[in-house]
Amino acid sequence: MSDHAKLDSEDQTHVDWGTYKWVALILFVMTVVEVWVYYIPAFVATPWFVPTILILGAIKFAIVVMFYMHLKYDYKLFRALFVGPLTIAVLILISLLFLFGKVAIHFS
Amino acid sequence: MATAALADAHAGEHHYTSTGLNSNKIAIWAFIGSECFFFASLISTYLIYKGRSVVGPFPHEAWTDPATGKVMPAILNIPVTSMSTFVLLMSSLFMVLAHSAVVRGDRKYSKIWLLATALAGATFLGFQAFEFTSFVHEGLGLTTNLFGSTFFVLTGFHGAHVTAGVLWLVTLLFIDYKRGLGPRDTINVDICALYWHFVDVVWIAIFALVYLIR
Task: Give the pLDDT mean for A66-84.
Answer: 91
Quick one: A42 and A56 in the same domain? yes
Shared domain check, A88 and A41: no
For residue B196, what is the nearest residue in chain A, using CA coordinates? Answer: A69
Domain of B90 in residue numbering reads as 25-212
Closest CA to B67 of B138, B141, B151, B152: B138
Could you tell me if A82 and A98 lie in one domain?
Answer: yes
Most confidently predicted of A12-21, A72-81, B133-142, B153-162: B153-162
For residue A93, the one-letter residue type is L
How far apart are the C-alpha atoms of A73 and A81, rounded to whole Å? 15
| pLDDT confidence of residue B14 | 61
| A13 close to B (CB below 8 A) | yes
Distance (Å, whole) CA B121 – CA B140: 25
A33 and A46, same domain (yes or no): yes
A–B interface: beta-carbon pairs under 8 A = 137
Q: Residue B76 belongs to a domain with what CATH number? A: 1.20.120.80
Q: What is the pLDDT of residue B5?
A: 41
From chain A, the residues in CB contact with B197 under 8 A are: 64-65, 68-69
Alpha carbon of residue B196 to chain centroid: 6
- The C-alpha of A36 sits at a distance from chain B's nearest C-alpha, in angstroms, of 10
ipTM: 0.86
Looking at the structure, do residues A7 and A58 belong to the same domain, yes or no?
yes
A50 and A80 co-located in one domain = no
Looking at per-residue confidence, does B130 or A105 come out higher?
Answer: B130
Same domain, yes or no: A63 and A93:
no
Residue by residue, pLDDT tens for chain B (214 residues) are 344 444 444 444 566 667 778 889 999 999 999 999 999 999 999 999 998 888 888 888 888 888 788 888 889 999 999 999 999 999 999 999 999 999 988 889 999 999 999 999 999 999 999 999 999 998 899 999 999 999 999 999 999 999 999 999 999 999 999 988 888 889 999 999 999 999 999 999 999 999 999 8
More confident residue, A7 or A88: A88
Cβ burial, residue A106 (10 Å; 0-12/13-18/19+): exposed
Taking the CA of residue A107 and the nearest CA in chain B, the distance in Å comes to 23
Q: How many structural domains are present in chain B?
A: 1
B121 within 8 A of B91, measured Cβ to Cβ: yes
Q: Specify the higher pLDDT residue, A102 or B195.
A: B195
- Nearest alpha carbon to residue B211 among B47, B64, B38: B47
pLDDT band at A3 (very low <50, low <70, confident <90, very high): very low
What pLDDT, in 10s, does the model give residues A39-62?
A: 999 999 999 999 999 999 999 999
- SS3 percent helix, strand, coil of chain B, rounded to 5, is 75, 5, 25
Residues A54 and A91 in one domain: no
Nearest to A35 by CA among B112, B172, B182, B213: B213
pLDDT of amino acid B13: 55
Other Cβ atoms less than 10 A from the Cβ of A95: the count is 11
What residue numbers bound the domain in which A87 lies? Answer: 75-108
Of B40, B92, B186, the CB nearest to A89: B40
- Can you list the alpha helix ranges (DSSP code H) found in A1-108? 3-10, 17-38, 41-44, 49-63, 76-99
Within 76-95 of A, beta carbons closer than 8 Å to B belong to 77-78, 81-82, 84-86, 88-90, 92-93
Interface test with B, best of A73, A93, A94, A100 (most B CBs within 10 A): A93
Q: Is the Cβ pair A31, B86 closer than 8 Å?
A: yes
Find the residue in A nearest to B207 (Cα): A57
Q: What is the pTM of this model?
A: 0.88
